[in-house]
């Protein structure tokens, strides 16, 4: 797994700074101003080049995908982590992927003053995701459902230039795959004017003007003053409903964030707790009132490796935690939210595949199941800090600290 470093400048004071790939919240160490980074469309980065000075660079686009891929077969759910790049233009003359380049190089944002010719992508992000799904499809068993869960794709441009033949500008070496028709093929490609911009939104509470809390790759900002929770989206900021389960003993507690999603499910009955008991064939006798007790999907609101992710999402969904909640975020130690609710919502069908019983029903039921989120709440659940794990005794759920530390690169 890889994570690249991006070099940029503070929009307020111009000080040089380095970001991790997933960082969206930036607090400049010099001027202390906090801002949230966004861009219309995809984030676009360039690799550095070693081309001779004054060379006209040709920037070739690659889609970068990083996420989880789940293959549901009659045998169960296969999980894998995907970290790949694909050509955003089908062009035989340049390498088919970035290989290991993006992790060993420092990237910069592609901006209007970058210079050179930016080739226009011809392959859509959706087509790239399709390519990954095909590449990592399991062939052994009948595929009932496949789901890619990952962030919005970014574009990474690799430098090339043409001087009697095609050169790789990163290595400053001729490209082996190029031939005498390369120039003609290059001339046929259209370019994009590099008029992309980055937007920096100040991290100020829209309700009370206070400086919001949040750092690095967190997608959620909390106001320490009015206790409201915010989610920046492109250039705006939206309020998010949040809640937490209060604890008496606050020492050594860390709150982990989860999305609780109310969804419309079609293809099977899954509206109430009674429906869940029947669908998952839980060893419980249905009690009066369970038919009207609403059912919710649960998902971690943070990244963990795919194997653990679906187990946790299904496990909490089966447990249906009930609170009591306080409808504000907790004070104290909060684990950052770095998995958006849009991605969490994509796990709902996987959770059904995970707990549906008996398994023989999967093949006939799963393809027809559809889930559509109606509303959601960000719920913080308390975990006590063990020597190696974070533990919630009520849910019998534990996360190894080591695994969480590694997960920031996912």
Closer to Zn ion at the Cβ: 207 or 269?
Answer: 207
Q: Is 90 in the site for Zn ion (CB under 5 A)?
A: no
Question: 3-class SS at 247?
Answer: coil
Least Å distance, CB 230 to Zn ion, is 9
How far is the C-alpha of 68 from the C-alpha of 78, rounded, in Å?
11
Exactly one of 96, 202, 208, 363 binds Zn ion (CB under 5 A); that residue is 208
Closer to Zn ion at the Cβ: 202 or 207?
Answer: 207
Closer to Zn ion at the Cβ: 8 or 385?
Answer: 8
Q: Is 30 in the site for Zn ion (CB under 5 A)?
A: yes
Contact 200, 37 (CB under 8 A): yes
Least Å distance, CB 328 to Zn ion, is 11
Least Å distance, CB 184 to Zn ion, is 47
Beta strand pairing call for 166-168 and 397-400: unpaired
**248 vs 245, 383, 387, CA distance in Å?**
10, 12, 21
Q: In this structure, what DSSP letter does residue 187 have?
A: H
How far is the C-alpha of 334 from the C-alpha of 389, rounded, in Å?
16
Contact 258, 236 (CB under 8 A): no
Closer to Zn ion at the Cβ: 29 or 368?
Answer: 29
- Taking residue 330's Cβ as centre, other Cβ atoms within 10 Å add up to 22
Closer to Zn ion at the Cβ: 13 or 264?
Answer: 13
Q: In this structure, what DSSP letter does residue 133 have?
A: H
Q: Is 31 in the site for Zn ion (CB under 5 A)?
A: yes
216-245 residues in contact with Zn ion (CB under 5 A) are: 223, 225-226
Q: Is 17 in the site for Zn ion (CB under 5 A)?
A: no
Least Å distance, CB 317 to Zn ion, is 32
Exactly one of 1, 96, 177, 207 binds Zn ion (CB under 5 A); that residue is 207
- Taking residue 322's Cβ as centre, other Cβ atoms within 10 Å add up to 10
How far is the C-alpha of 346 from the C-alpha of 408, rounded, in Å?
20
Exactly one of 15, 171, 264, 363 binds Zn ion (CB under 5 A); that residue is 15
Closer to Zn ion at the Cβ: 200 or 290?
Answer: 200
Tell me which residues touch Zn ion (CB under 5 A): 10, 12-13, 15, 28, 30-31, 205, 207-208, 210, 223, 225-226
């Amino acid at each position: 797994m890889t994570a690249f470093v991006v070099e940029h400048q503070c929009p307020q004071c111009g000080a040089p700074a380095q970001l991790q790939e997933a960082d969206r919240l930036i607090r400049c160490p010099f001027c202390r101003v906090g801002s949230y980074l966004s861009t219309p469309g995809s984030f676009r980065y360039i690799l550095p080049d070693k081309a001779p000075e004054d060379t006209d660079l040709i920037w070739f686009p690659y889609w970068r995908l990083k996420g989880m891929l789940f293959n549901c077969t009659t045998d169960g759910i296969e999980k894998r982590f995907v970290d790949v790049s694909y050509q955003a233009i089908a062009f035989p003359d340049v390498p088919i992927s970035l290989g290991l380049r993006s992790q060993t190089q420092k990237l910069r944002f592609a901006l209007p003053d970058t210079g050179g010719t930016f080739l226009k992508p011809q392959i859509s992000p959706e087509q790239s995701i399709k390519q990954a799904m095909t590449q990592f499809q399991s062939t052994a068993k009948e595929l009932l459902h496949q789901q890619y869960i990952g962030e919005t794709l970014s574009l990474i441009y690799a430098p090339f230039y043409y001087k009697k033949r095609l050169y790789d500008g990163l290595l400053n070496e001729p490209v082996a795959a190029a031939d005498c028709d390369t120039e003609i093929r290059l001339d046929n490609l259209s370019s994009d004017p590099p008029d992309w911009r980055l937007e920096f939104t100040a991290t100020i509470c829209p309700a009370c003007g206070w400086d919001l809390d949040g750092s690095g790759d967190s997608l959620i900002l909390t106001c320490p003053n009015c206790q409201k929770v915010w989610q920046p989206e492109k250039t705006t900021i939206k309020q998010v409903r949040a809640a937490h389960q209060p604890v008496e003993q606050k020492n050594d507690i860390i709150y982990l964030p989860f999305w609780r999603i109310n969804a419309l499910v079609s293809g099977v009955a899954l509206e109430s707790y009674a429906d869940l008991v029947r669908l998952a064939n839980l060893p419980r006798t249905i009690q009066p009132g369970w038919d009207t007790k609403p059912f919710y999907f649960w998902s971690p609101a943070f990244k963990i490796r795919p194997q653990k992710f679906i187990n946790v999402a299904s496990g909490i969904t089966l447990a249906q935690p009930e609170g009591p909640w306080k409808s504000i975020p907790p004070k104290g130690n909060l684990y950052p939210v770095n998995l958006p609710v849009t991605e969490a919502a994509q796990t709902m069908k996987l959770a059904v595949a995970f707990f549906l019983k008996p398994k023989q029903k999967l093949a006939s039921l799963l393809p027809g199941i559809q889930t559509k989120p109606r509303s959601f709440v960000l719920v913080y659940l308390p975990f006590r800090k063990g020597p190696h794990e974070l533990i919630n005794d009520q849910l019998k759920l534990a996360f190894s600290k080591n695994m969480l530390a590694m997960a920031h690169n996912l």
